[in-house]
Structure 1
Amino acid sequence: MDMEPENDCAWKPKQGMTFDSEQCVYDFYNTYGGRMGSSIRRDFCRKNKFTNQLICRLLVCNKEGFRKGDKRDPLSKNPRAETRTGCEARLYVKLDEDTGKYVVTDFKEKHNHDLVSPECAHMLPSQRKISTTQAIELDLAAQSGLRLGQSFELIGREAGGRQCLGFTKLNQKNYLRTKRQQSLAYGEVGNVLQYFKEKSLQNHSFFYAFQLDNEEQITNMFWADA
């Protein structure tokens, strides 16, 4: 990534700024958002239909747009809180085919909502992350048989409180789920699931399903052919 000198606010996006990859764009804009007190997310993108290469990408504030109508009962006692405000803060990059770099062609800085203080910015959705050390502790806790809530409480106390963790219980659950799903790619269970997938591709009438327990581990399997 090419940035201007430090004394010219190099951490702030500017039109004409270039990046080596789309991931570099995301990381830079997310770091900027964390310093400002906002969360970001990926939005529109366009790819080359022949090479599948990303041609352009739009990154927006997490509060961009408005939530669609709630499909649940309108008399629900606990309706979901509205989190979007139609914020127009954004960063748009486009691929320069001559250099192979992504160039910032549009940057809107202003938000239409209050920003989060620096002390709390690490808990915004796009700013949350599980460090390598925390991941090891979560793995050890899971192997020891601790429940999600117990391990989350334990690691929170070690960090000086849940607010210091940098991730939520949902992030913890998603991390462990992803790791379990990856582990299914190996061993007997992985071979069975791969076999089921191949059979369903060969015969659309083939059906299979599996049941998970509270710890999201497979307890039962079911399959049926035509």
Structure 2
Amino acid sequence: MEPDKQPLQNLQVDQPMVSSQGTLSNNIEDVTSDDNQLPNSLIPTIGMKFASVEEAYHFYNAYALQVRFSVRKNLNRKNKSNVVTMKCFTCNREGKPKERSPTKAPPKFKRPEIRIGCNAHMKINICSKGAYNVTSFDLDHNHTTSTPTKAKMLKSHRSISKAQKALGYLADAAGIKPKETYDLLAKQAGGRHNLTFIPDDYRNYLRTIRERDITLGDAGALLQYLQDRQKGDPSFYYAIQLDSDDQITNIFWADGRSLLDYGYFGDVVCFDSTYKTNEYAYLLLFLAIVFYRAIKKATIFIFKHFVDSWSVNN
């Protein structure tokens, strides 16, 4: 047998995993010390019931942690009322790799293929009482699963605890760099090998918090400020760009004095792209432009409204 290979074909799946009331068992400690065996109470079975899709996912993900593979939420089907009627959770190595376009240049570094057609999955369907039944389950993998020490770092099993989030939030508010905070959390846990998340997870958490902090109140206050400036200065010009989710991405404004100065000294325009970023990670540029990242769309937006603001007032 290959090292760390799970002999899943020897597992017994004829016993139910949940109680007669359909409640989910969280007794992961029941797993035996022998990595080659799992108690029947932790293995999905056909007909098992769950109260919700999330409950089914957490159960299958807990099973996956013991078998040492990562879970991906795959197929999804909803009815006219937008209620999920079918959901399939698969091994993250399910499916076929994407075919590269022949017109694209080959990559300098080829990454190992993740999707290799693994069929391991658990599918649930809604039943008459609103609960969900397991209607299909395949425990066989066509690949070697992870090692016990690495399994917790697979994508579906990585997580940041509430205490670590609280400390990370305070550190970020105090201006501590993410790398330094991650090292602090690792030292607190007794080493990086004891953490259950990677630096990218922490950075993603900070990004989520920052986006959440830019609340409607902040956007409303900014819009009110621009409107007040326009009332006191008829030449004041501003424009706001939104993304597909109606979130503010770029803002341009120019007051009458700036436009007048440009009329006299318009043969040179200077952009200061080295100005320090504020807490929202925006750059303050010429004519009080708020510019998030130097990307093509934002650049087009800025110069379009720069020209429009000059045209309106001349």
2:165 to 135, 145, 149: 135
After superposition, the C-alpha distances for 1:39-65 in whole angstroms (9 at most, x for unaligned) are 00100111012x100010011001111
In structure 2, the residue matched to 1:99 is 129
In structure 2, the residue matched to 1:145 is 175
Percent of aligned pairs with the same residue?
33
Q: Is the 8 A contact 2:68 2:151 kept in 1?
A: yes
Q: Does 1:31 align with 2:62?
A: yes
Distance 1:11 1:2, change over 3 A: closer
In structure 1, the residue matched to 2:250 is 209
Q: Equivalents in 2 of 1:43, 1:171: separation in Å?
A: 22
Higher strand share: 1
After TM superposition, give the deviation of residue 116 of structure 1 in Å: 1.6
Q: Does 1:52 align with 2:82?
A: yes
Q: Does 1:41 align with 2:41?
A: no
Q: Does 1:73 align with 2:114?
A: no
Larger radius of gyration: 2
Distance 1:197 1:103, change over 3 A: farther
Distance 1:197 1:58, change over 3 A: farther
- Listed as ranges, the matches of 1:78-89 within 5 Å are 78-89=109-120
Q: Is the 8 A contact 1:177 1:216 kept in 2?
A: no
After TM superposition, give the deviation of residue 190 of structure 1 in Å: 6.0
SS at structure 1 position matched to 2:125: strand
After TM superposition, give the deviation of residue 99 of structure 1 in Å: 1.3
SS at structure 2 position matched to 1:10: helix
In structure 2, the residue matched to 1:90 is 121
Q: Equivalents in 2 of 1:201, 1:82: separation in Å?
A: 33
Q: Equivalents in 1 of 2:282, 2:132: separation in Å?
A: 43
Distance 1:70 1:158, change over 3 A: farther
In structure 1, the residue matched to 2:18 is 3
Distance 1:154 1:85, change over 3 A: same
Q: Equivalents in 1 of 2:98, 2:278: separation in Å?
A: 31
Distance 1:102 1:169, change over 3 A: same
In structure 1, the residue matched to 2:51 is 20
The answer to which structure, 1 or 2, has the higher relative contact order (CA under 8 A, 6+ apart) is 1
SS at structure 1 position matched to 2:85: strand
TM-score, with length taken from structure 2: 0.61
After superposition, the C-alpha distances for 1:115-173 in whole angstroms (9 at most, x for unaligned) are 12222211010000000011011112111211121111221122122121100111111
Q: Equivalents in 2 of 1:135, 1:56: separation in Å?
A: 33
Q: Is the 8 A contact 2:243 2:249 kept in 1?
A: no
Distance 1:117 1:201, change over 3 A: closer
After superposition, the C-alpha distances for 1:79-107 in whole angstroms (9 at most, x for unaligned) are 222222211000000000x2110000000
Superposition RMSD in Å: 3.4
Q: Is the 8 A contact 2:17 2:44 kept in 1?
A: no
